[in-house]
Amino acid sequence: MRQIILVRHAETAWNRSRTYYTGRDDPALTPAGEREAVLLGPHLAVHRDAHVLCSPALRARSTAKLAGLEADFSADLREWSYRLPDGHNVEEGCEAAPCRHDVWDSAVRSAACTGECLPEVTARADYVLGCARRLLAGGRDVVLVTHGNLIRILTARWLGLPAAAGAQLALRTASVGRLAVYDARPSLLGWNFSPAFDAVPLPSPQTPAEAALPVRSAGLNG
């Protein structure tokens, strides 16, 4: 079963404070984030022969390198460019002036939010998934090292859901999700597994005989 492995970059100071990026800022990992990224290495080792694509952002590139992945960079995996007022906090929900804009609501847009709206970033996510499907058809897994909200949209779209459904998919830093076609349906095999929080490792790829045996999935922890 070929898989798309989704890797969110490790912690930055803005993740710790739950602050929106403008999409143009490029913060480095915190010391804790560097440790998170290193801990990803053993769990991603089985995918090192996969086709690895990475956001060009420093935090994503550093995560891939510290996790032992050699990646090609793709501008399509860049951060969602909200371009909100600097320092805008996630808990505010973009309701405070001058923004008054929910980034997950494609029907709302304000003059203060001049970046990508939801339909625009969704089109980019759909393009990435199209590329990933072609790579899977070539017989290789695909690893995407990118950003939290983009991963949430990629997952929703893979499952055939509206992009806004990604708002309900909570995601840690330095976490791993797994997408595949299971029983002829696009499926979610694992979500939000973070070796910095979860003790059980991700399972190694199975042989057909092993796949027939009942197993406990660690990828849904958290």
pTM for this predicted structure: 0.83
Residue 6 to residue 29: CA distance in whole angstroms: 18
3-12, 62-71, 82-91, 211-220: segment of lowest average pLDDT: 211-220
Decide: 83 and 114 in contact? Cβ < 8 Å.
yes
pLDDT digits (tens, 9 = 90+) for 30-77: 999 999 999 999 999 999 789 999 999 999 999 999 999 999 999 999
Indicate the pLDDT class of residue 216, thresholds 50, 70 and 90: very low
Where is pLDDT greater, at 106 or 193? Answer: 193
Q: Which of 144, 141, 148, 151 is nearest to 204 (CA)?
A: 141
Active site residue 9: yes
Active site residue 210: no
Residue 69 to residue 51: CA distance in whole angstroms: 10
Q: Which of 120, 96, 98 is nearest to 111 (CA)?
A: 98
Decide: 2 and 180 in contact? Cβ < 8 Å.
yes
In this prediction, residue 15 carries a pLDDT of 81
Residue 80 to residue 154: CA distance in whole angstroms: 12
Residue 4 to residue 22: CA distance in whole angstroms: 27
In this prediction, residue 110 carries a pLDDT of 60
Residue 6 to residue 194: CA distance in whole angstroms: 12
Largest CA distance in the chain: 59
Catalytic residue among 11, 43, 47, 79: 79
Residue 128 to residue 54: CA distance in whole angstroms: 11
Indicate the pLDDT class of residue 197, thresholds 50, 70 and 90: confident
Mean pLDDT of 187-206: 78
Could you list the beta-strand ranges (E) of 44-102: 51-54, 72-73
Cβ-in-10-Å burial (0-12, 13-18, 19+) of 178 comes to buried
